[in-house]
A and B are shown apart, each in its own frame.
Chain A
Amino acid sequence: MRRLASVCCCLVLACLAGCSQPPQPSNKLILWHWMTDRQDTLQKLAQEYKEKTGIEVAVQLFAPSESYSQKVIAAAQANVLPDIYGILDKKSIVADFIKAGLVTDLTPDMEAGGGVWKNSLYAKALADKSFDPGNSYGIKPGIYGVPIDVTNEQMLYNKKLLAKAGIKNPPQTFDDFLKDAHLLRRVGITPFVAGWGELWLLDCFASNYAFNIMGEQKVFDTFRGKVKYTDPDWLKVFGVFAQLYKNGVLMNGIVTKGNKYAEQDFALERAAFAFNGSWCVNVYKEMNPKLDYGVIPPPPISNAYPLKIWGSAGSTFVVNAQSPNKDKAIAFLKWLTSEKQQEVLARETNNLPSNRQATVAVSPILRDFSKGMEESTHPNIWPLNEDPTVSEAFDRGLQAILIGDKTPEQVAQEVQKVKDQQMAKHNRRR
């Protein structure tokens, strides 16, 4: 009797498991995202879309981003991804999703009508989920994601603190910046803070100056192993950090400071300059609504090449290639990234819109941030990136310079040594 009951239970479970039906087309789209600060606005826009088109978009929030990523991976394996979702992982994972047939190639829709949709968005933002011809991932070239906003990293200055030190205009060159730092120190103000305990932010600042000093081609040639880190131009890049240290520009503890703490310092007027991303507008508004500040690109040290800031897509959605509502999902994303909706998103969430035309509607500070967007760059769109072990040695070296432990020459040699080891390993593998 007991055995019979067990067998019956197993049969019921097996039947339940097998009773799944393939999804049918419907007028309801499901969108998964991870952005707590954009949930209300996205829901509001979804409601507006429903009133206009009759298509319901269920905006489902799963935060924090780590939990969201796990959910997406699990849903991908169970083949139950929603119509619209975002992939927060690196490009190689995005490539895996595309290979698994879970992401729609949006190129035909982007290019339709002479590329109206594509041209309305920042090219750098589209590049985040695009694959070029001959890409190393073996993905069919095309655009696979729709950015709903963009970010870039620049320098912020506190107008009140600069005025207190008698500085009328923000610095235009690196020398001006050092002079301003001296003036600020004289009146007891810490000149500069950044969350350089987070290596990517330090890497970003160094990369800005590397592009400015030697141009992008030479930077990429260094990654390829054709130029050494002991090259005079790289010594100049390391020298930027040595000068910051020697001139007393930096806030104490900057090399261990997380960006959240650096943001607190700038918002609470403990430092006159900061290096941060465009999301800081939201952060500063919450911490100190009266903060009077402006934004400039990091002041260039050389006239040889343009200083390129980092800028890329902030949040990007993809369309599930298995979805029976694929076309409706694409139509919704097209609507969401059109000028009017982007203005609403930018105004209510204080993020930089991905649509160029929508920048007119944003606050002056965000507009200043958006100015750098066209000329920006980002590791995601570079033809190649430095080996992670070398990058880590590079960043640790910069931190050592910032606390006065090592000279630029010492760090250059150490980084080159690691680079040589990695190159040798790579050659052996080949």
Chain B
Amino acid sequence: MINKYVLFRSARSTIIHIFLMSVAVTCLFPIFWMVRCAFMTNQTIFVDQSLIPHHLDFNNFVKAWTQGSFGIYFLNSVIYTACVVTGIVIIASLAAFSFSRLNFPGKNIIFYLFVAAMMIPLPGSFVALFVLMTKLHLVNTRLGYILCMINVGLSMSILILKTFFDKMPHELEDAARIDGCTKLGIWWNMALPFARPAIAVIVIFNSLNVWNEYILATLLLEDSKLMPLQRGLIIFQGAHSTDYPVLMAGLTMAAVPIIVIYLFMQKYIVKGLSGEVVG
């Protein structure tokens, strides 16, 4: 006789697995389709409906790298991503620590102003940013673009980190102070290690944001040698026609670094998103 409980458990597990597998397929299929199309030609991409193309064309990757000048754009994107993410982590963690642990006049108002800044969509601030950067002579410079992108990512990062720092036990801070730690020492030795999951979330979100950003770069940069990776991809999209296979090859190459960052940090991401405290 079949145990009803075992039957119920295996039925429930099967349903959950089928559901999770279908969600996984939905997420992974577009990536698979992108990679698949990267190996096709313009003539076969609309005709060949098979999952694995009959003829694999590797030239698209070479074409994307050379015609799209991916070498210089790739390097630029790495520089922008590294600088912006580092800048955001340092500034946001200092700001969040101050909002959470220090008392100063106008603390709440300034914090709410930061949070309110999240409500302003990026295109809404384009003209203001451009005029400001022009006045500061920072248009068409790497520094100007990096500063603007740090500004874009700050609000959300401060909000996430403040939530973490609020949960940090006061006793730990007191103990550190007794041991002779300064405020900066507490931030460096306690707050930052404590907020590692939140920092992981900030790193991945902002990396993704900077890596895929193009509109602000178009606005602020003029020299093509300063442009990020997305500029290389635009080359393959004409006003009326698109070179899909080469575009897909470019997208595949552009997606690799961000997938690698995600894989490295994935164990912290769930903790960071759920606001789970270490320990």
A60-B224, A286-B241, A289-B43 known; 8 other A-B pairs, CB under 8 Å? Answer: A37-B238, A67-B215, A74-B131, A78-B130, A267-B46, A279-B241, A282-B240, A283-B241
Count of chain A residues near B, Cβ 8 A? 38
> What's the Cα separation between A60 and B231 when bound, in Å?
12
In the complex, identify which listed stretch (B1-9, B133-141, B254-262) lies at the interface while the others stay far away.
Answer: B133-141
On chain A, the residues within 8 Å of B18 by CB distance are none
By the criterion CB–CB under 8 Å, are A282 and B241 in contact? Answer: yes
By the criterion CB–CB under 8 Å, are A64 and B219 in contact? Answer: no
Q: Indicate whether B119 reaches chain A with its CB closer than 8 angstroms.
A: no
Encoded as 1 (CB less than 8 Å from any B CB) or 0, chain A from 2 to 15 comes to 00000000000100
> What's the Cα separation between A268 and B123 when bound, in Å?
38
Name the residue on B nearest A70 (C-beta).
B126
Name the residue on A nearest B47 (C-beta).
A268
Q: Which of A229-288 contact B (CB under 8 A)?
A: 264, 267-268, 277, 279-280, 282-283, 286-288
Shortest Cβ distance from A278 into chain B, in angstroms?
10
By the criterion CB–CB under 8 Å, are A279 and B136 in contact? Answer: no
On chain A, the residues within 8 Å of B123 by CB distance are 70
Q: Indicate whether A20 reaches chain B with its CB closer than 8 angstroms.
A: yes
On chain A, the residues within 8 Å of B238 by CB distance are 35-37, 282
Shortest Cβ distance from A69 into chain B, in angstroms?
10
A interface secondary structure, majority: helix
> Could you give 20 example pairs across A and B, Cβ below 8 Å?
A17-B135, A17-B136, A34-B239, A36-B234, A36-B235, A37-B239, A37-B240, A37-B241, A63-B234, A63-B237, A71-B130, A74-B127, A74-B130, A75-B130, A78-B127, A80-B139, A264-B46, A280-B240, A283-B241, A286-B42
> What's the Cα separation between A16 and B138 when bound, in Å?
10
By the criterion CB–CB under 8 Å, are B237 and A279 in contact? Answer: no
> What's the Cα separation between A68 and B231 when bound, in Å?
13
On chain A, the residues within 8 Å of B235 by CB distance are 36, 39
> What's the Cα separation between A411 and B238 when bound, in Å?
37
Q: Indicate whether B205 reaches chain A with its CB closer than 8 angstroms.
A: no
Give how many A-B residue pairs fall within 8 Å (CB-CB).
Answer: 87
Shortest Cβ distance from A77 into chain B, in angstroms?
5
> What's the Cα separation between A13 and B234 when bound, in Å?
35
Count of chain B residues near A, Cβ 8 A? 29
Closest 8 CB pairs of A and B: A74-B130, A37-B238, A17-B135, A279-B240, A67-B218, A78-B134, A283-B241, A78-B131
Q: Indicate whether B214 reaches chain A with its CB closer than 8 angstroms.
A: yes
> What's the Cα separation between A78 and B131 when bound, in Å?
5
Shortest Cβ distance from B243 into chain A, in angstroms?
7
By the criterion CB–CB under 8 Å, are A268 and B127 in contact? Answer: no
On chain A, the residues within 8 Å of B135 by CB distance are 16-17, 20, 78
On chain B, the residues within 8 Å of A62 by CB distance are 218
By the criterion CB–CB under 8 Å, are B215 and A287 in contact? Answer: no
By the criterion CB–CB under 8 Å, are B127 and A77 in contact? Answer: yes
Shortest Cβ distance from A430 into chain B, in angstroms?
34
> What's the Cα separation between A279 and B236 when bound, in Å?
16
Q: Indicate whether B222 reaches chain A with its CB closer than 8 angstroms.
A: yes
By the criterion CB–CB under 8 Å, are B224 and A16 in contact? Answer: no
On chain B, the residues within 8 Å of A361 by CB distance are none
> What's the Cα separation between A151 and B211 when bound, in Å?
36
On chain A, the residues within 8 Å of B43 by CB distance are 287-289
On chain A, the residues within 8 Å of B240 by CB distance are 37, 277, 279-280, 282-283
Shortest Cβ distance from B226 into chain A, in angstroms?
11
Encoded as 1 (CB less than 8 Å from any B CB) or 0, chain A from 87 to 113 comes to 000000000000000000000000000
By the criterion CB–CB under 8 Å, are A80 and B134 in contact? Answer: yes
Name the residue on A nearest B241 (C-beta).
A283
On chain B, the residues within 8 Å of A289 by CB distance are 43
Q: Indicate whether A19 reaches chain B with its CB closer than 8 angstroms.
A: yes
By the criterion CB–CB under 8 Å, are A64 and B131 in contact? Answer: no
Shortest Cβ distance from B112 into chain A, in angstroms?
23
> What's the Cα separation between A73 and B215 when bound, in Å?
14
Known contacts A36-B238, A64-B234; A74/B222 CB under 8 A: no
Q: Indicate whether A61 reaches chain B with its CB closer than 8 angstroms.
A: yes
